Structure 1
Amino acid sequence: MKISGFGLPHGFAVELNDLVRTGRTGRDLVGGSPTRVLYLSASARRLITNGRAVVADDNSRKLVDHLLDAGMADPCLSTLPAADPSSVTVVVPVYGRPLALDRLLASMAGKYDVVVVDDCSPDQEAILAVTEKHHARLVRLRENGGPGHARNEGLKRVNTPYVAFVDSDIVVATDTIEILSKHFADPRVALAGPRIHGLKRGSGMTWIERYEHAKSSLDLGGRPGTVRPRSPVSWLPGAFLLARTHAISEGFSSTSRVGEDVDLVWRLVEDGWRVRFEPEAKVWHEHRQSLTTWLSRKAFYGTSAHPLALRHSTAVAPAVLTPWSVAVVAVTLLQKRWSIAAALAITAAAGVQISRKLSRSEQPIQLGLYLATRGSIAAYAQTMGLLLRHWWPLALLGCIFSRRMRRAVAVACLADAAWEYRRSRPHLDPLRFLLARRLDDVAYGAGVWFGAIKGGAIRCLLPDIRWRTSK
């Protein structure tokens, strides 16, 4: 459903996020996703005080709306109202796991109307007993259709303004839905999701569980933000989503058992809606405990890349690069004595070229070099991702014949693991973290290749080369 005719309410406040760089006079704002430069007029600068802007009239409304669209500002939740619990219906798709369902429903303490959709479970009587215990409504499906289909069947029974989709292996904090619902004070917000932590089992946790607690695919980090392709948070896990009911009237795609959550987010964004990630809201997920089930789930996630590429084109590209950043990476991979000097020269030349498009900036040369440096760093990071995750079969083949490729892969393996270990601080020794990190990449990449080969197209494996720079 496309959006039209909505405006932010009076008093709606936002704060510039900590990734935004401000010029000396406050005229230049650099940040967002993709990175861009906003030039503020004198009147617009006066509307931002200590990094905060509040909707008070049409001009401030346009400014706040623009900052949200650019991904430069986040709503001040403490100033926003929460939805009444009676306005939210919770839909829980279930296939087995009655004990997990019991734990989930207990965590919500009867605050919400709950619809449990039994997707043809093998132990249907146990599911019935749990739903009756917690006074939830039960919908039984005759055939197993997957989580997207089950959620859609539950959505048909929803008559409230908001609907929460919650998987049965989730535990919800008492204020999770309340916090997320504040985002809907913005009438353009269609969907919001919380931060998903691992459910701790104490000292008996396996090393795979410890890795997942630090680097789970479902944990999208500690920064709030706008969700859309190519942003720091580009999707939301279907394990927990709070939605504006009329905005998702079409529901999830029922043709795929994986990636249906990514597809929903991207369709909403294409229709002009906003989607928000809010780490202040928290839920806990029961991670997989054995190596085989963990690897199979990672590979399963990877198979979603091909159907998503068919529906959303380059949005699923494993890397987004510019021609000059490709040149920076290429000369570095040559590993010649002059490679570093050449990479620095290309970056400097790109910075000068970018600065010519920033003539309105206070310091165009410095800003151009800053953006070019960031672009080079991003290109190196994405190249490591390609070598270790999406293109690892090709990288492995290259290692057989090329000493340079072996060095490049070895450096990427160690640098990536060291950076992520320092950033995530897992309760796991560095060696096993390194092993788990590489197994994670190999399993996901194998799933991507399997999906691409089965689908007969390699679009999901191709980087997106951008010939124009945002400004």
Structure 2
Amino acid sequence: MRALPDGMVVRIGRHTRVRDDGTLLVGGAPTRVARLTPRAAALARDGRVVVRDAASRALAAHLLDTGLGDPVAASLPPVPLSELTVVVPVKDRVAPLDRLLASLPAGLGGTIVVDDGSADPAPIAAVVARHGARLIAFPENLGVSTARNTGLAEATTPFVAFIDSDVEVEPGSLEMLLRHFGDPLVALTAPRVLGREREHPGWITRYEDARSSLDLGNDAASVRPGSRVTWVSGTCLVARVADVSGFDATMRVGEDVDLVWRLIDAGRVVRYEPSAVVRHDHRTSARRWMARKFFYGTGALPLGERHPTEIAPVVLPPWAAGMLVVLAAQRRWSLPGAAAICAVVILRVARRLPHARHPRRTAARLVGDGALASLGQGSALLVRHWWPLALAASLVSRRARRAVAVAAVVDAAVEYARLRPRLDPVRFFAARRLDDLAYGAGVWWSALRGRSLRALMPRITRGHHD
């Protein structure tokens, strides 16, 4: 049994639906329907399970393993900061490095700054000395992975934090991330990455503040491929030294995602904790911002080579893929056909839920949620991952033009309503589409250069029901 500590609290996830007086849970990653015994339902009656004995420990572990619940980090025992070493790779960023080191809490087990070939190393050395950190300097640029690995090899504490030089750590964040290691399966934790506040933010900055690729939202999650949070950024990571062998030094992009997925493949747990926050120095010019998005997209090739089953741009059950094909045909029978597919799936799912009080109602909600999620993924294919193909098709097909236009407008409208950014709808729409164009171009560039379309192929999978 998973050795969760006494007193640990696991709460039912915000995205998990509780039905039938708490005996039926719908949610998780991938989405599933889990039936609880009356005794287990009583343990979680207030939406929280407190680990006190074997029964509560088993229920808490099940909720965590399935993604139906999340740990309350504050309920886990604190880990002294003296057991944490901070490793900071840096190149030429003197002022940001100064801000980062000033934001680190007192009492750390050590701070190691690795200068990865700065053009003028003297100012970096001066900042490091002023903050009492240790400096390791490379005469030439060897890459962020090598810099992090060098710091990791020098760490003598049980835990290490990899923090990029262009962030600031908010008070209490490292302490909160360390608490998760009270769960012995946790190997890596990551905070929420928000933008650094600016007095006069431009439209790109305002968009990034609302829809940054680094910001994974305000809901805690277990990180795993195919779930709501599939990866976390290397902007700030806290790891158990015994579990981390290092970053792949041959990768210049995607090395953080590769590390996360290797840990998950090894049976370890990676947690995203949004109550811990770091502030990132987002790019402010459209050219540099789009170049960075393109760079992120090029990570698809090396990740696809190392993780061929996890790199798919969308993951769909067979019925959802069929529904999207039927709707894309844009015929008179498309809407009735899609409705018929959903109706058949509802009946099939309902038959697999004999323990539910209202199996058809529960199945309808499951299929409805799946249909909406699949429509979102289909839109992303058209305007993000497959946009070169969609553009080519639009030149010769009115139906293709209609599909792309609807996907582009609806996607931006839904995101605008969800995020409520400090930006007008027109510029938000423009930034959203530029974001997708730049990232998608990076994916295609890497795919063509590597002669592999693996990162562009959808994955068809099946759901799970307990």
Q: Fold-level match, TM-score > 0.5? A: yes
Given residue 137 of structure 1, which amino acid in structure 2 is its aligned partner?
A: R
Deviation per residue, 1:265-298 (Å, 9 max, x gap): 1111111111111111111000111111111100
Q: Percent same amino acid at aligned positions?
A: 49
Correspondences of 1:232-381 after superposition (within 5 Å)? 232-248=228-244, 250-381=245-376
2:456 counterpart of 1:461: yes
Partner of 1:90: 86
Do the aligned partners of 2:5 and 2:76 also contact (CA within 8 Å) in 1?
Answer: no
CA distance in 2 between partners of 1:80 and 1:469 (Å): 32
Given residue 52 of structure 2, which amino acid in structure 1 is its aligned partner?
A: A
Match of residue 464, structure 2, among 440, 456, 470: 470
Given residue 184 of structure 1, which amino acid in structure 2 is its aligned partner?
A: F
CA distance in 2 between partners of 1:60 and 1:404 (Å): 55
Partner of 1:399: 394
Structure 1 unmatched ranges of 5 or more: none
Given residue 218 of structure 1, which amino acid in structure 2 is its aligned partner?
A: L
Partner of 1:125: 122
Given residue 380 of structure 1, which amino acid in structure 2 is its aligned partner?
A: L
Do the aligned partners of 1:320 and 1:465 also contact (CA within 8 Å) in 2?
Answer: yes
Do the aligned partners of 1:110 and 1:134 also contact (CA within 8 Å) in 2?
Answer: no
Deviates more, 1:89-98 or 1:423-432: 423-432
2:173 counterpart of 1:179: no
Deviates more, 1:76-85 or 1:149-158: 76-85
- Indicate the SS of the match to 1:140: strand
CA distance in 1 between partners of 2:273 and 2:40 (Å): 27
Match of residue 191, structure 2, among 191, 194, 200: 194
CA distance in 2 between partners of 1:270 and 1:155 (Å): 21
Do the aligned partners of 2:9 and 2:51 also contact (CA within 8 Å) in 1?
Answer: yes
Partner of 1:212: 208
Structure 2 length-normalised TM:
0.97
- TM-aligned CA deviation for residue 464 of structure 1: 0.1
Partner of 1:442: 437
CA distance in 2 between partners of 1:369 and 1:201 (Å): 46
Match of residue 14, structure 2, among 18, 26, 34: 18
Do the aligned partners of 1:17 and 1:72 also contact (CA within 8 Å) in 2?
Answer: yes
- TM-aligned CA deviation for residue 110 of structure 1: 4.1
CA distance in 2 between partners of 1:173 and 1:260 (Å): 25
CA distance in 1 between partners of 2:77 and 2:56 (Å): 20
Partner of 1:408: 403
- Indicate the SS of the match to 2:3: coil
Do the aligned partners of 2:31 and 2:463 also contact (CA within 8 Å) in 1?
Answer: no
2:57 counterpart of 1:67: no
- Indicate the SS of the match to 2:452: coil
- TM-aligned CA deviation for residue 109 of structure 1: 4.9
- Indicate the SS of the match to 1:104: helix
CA distance in 1 between partners of 2:105 and 2:219 (Å): 28
CA distance in 2 between partners of 1:470 and 1:40 (Å): 16
CA distance in 1 between partners of 2:351 and 2:403 (Å): 34
Given residue 399 of structure 2, which amino acid in structure 1 is its aligned partner?
A: R
2:144 counterpart of 1:147: yes
CA distance in 2 between partners of 1:13 and 1:359 (Å): 31
Given residue 125 of structure 2, which amino acid in structure 1 is its aligned partner?
A: L
Do the aligned partners of 1:28 and 1:362 also contact (CA within 8 Å) in 2?
Answer: no
Partner of 2:72: 76
- TM-aligned CA deviation for residue 6 of structure 1: 5.4
- TM-aligned CA deviation for residue 57 of structure 1: 1.7
Given residue 296 of structure 2, which amino acid in structure 1 is its aligned partner?
A: Y
- TM-aligned CA deviation for residue 42 of structure 1: 2.1
CA distance in 2 between partners of 1:364 and 1:422 (Å): 32
Given residue 35 of structure 2, which amino acid in structure 1 is its aligned partner?
A: Y
Do the aligned partners of 1:114 and 1:137 also contact (CA within 8 Å) in 2?
Answer: yes
CA distance in 2 between partners of 1:458 and 1:452 (Å): 6
Given residue 223 of structure 2, which amino acid in structure 1 is its aligned partner?
A: V
CA distance in 2 between partners of 1:350 and 1:75 (Å): 33
Correspondences of 1:159-174 after superposition (within 5 Å)? 159-174=156-171
Given residue 83 of structure 1, which amino acid in structure 2 is its aligned partner?
A: V
- TM-aligned CA deviation for residue 323 of structure 1: 2.0
Do the aligned partners of 2:311 and 2:455 also contact (CA within 8 Å) in 1?
Answer: yes
Given residue 313 of structure 1, which amino acid in structure 2 is its aligned partner?
A: P
Structure 2 unmatched ranges of 5 or more: none
Given residue 160 of structure 1, which amino acid in structure 2 is its aligned partner?
A: T
Given residue 65 of structure 1, which amino acid in structure 2 is its aligned partner?
A: A
- Indicate the SS of the match to 1:384: helix
Deviation per residue, 1:321-340 (Å, 9 max, x gap): 12211221122122223321
CA distance in 1 between partners of 2:347 and 2:191 (Å): 41
Do the aligned partners of 1:91 and 1:155 also contact (CA within 8 Å) in 2?
Answer: yes
Given residue 80 of structure 2, which amino acid in structure 1 is its aligned partner?
A: D
- TM-aligned CA deviation for residue 368 of structure 1: 1.9
- TM-aligned CA deviation for residue 469 of structure 1: 2.8
CA distance in 1 between partners of 2:45 and 2:207 (Å): 42
CA distance in 2 between partners of 1:40 and 1:110 (Å): 45
The change in CA–CA distance for 1:6 and 1:52 in structure 2 (over 3 A counts) is closer
- Indicate the SS of the match to 1:315: coil
Given residue 329 of structure 2, which amino acid in structure 1 is its aligned partner?
A: L
Match of residue 419, structure 2, among 424, 437, 460: 424
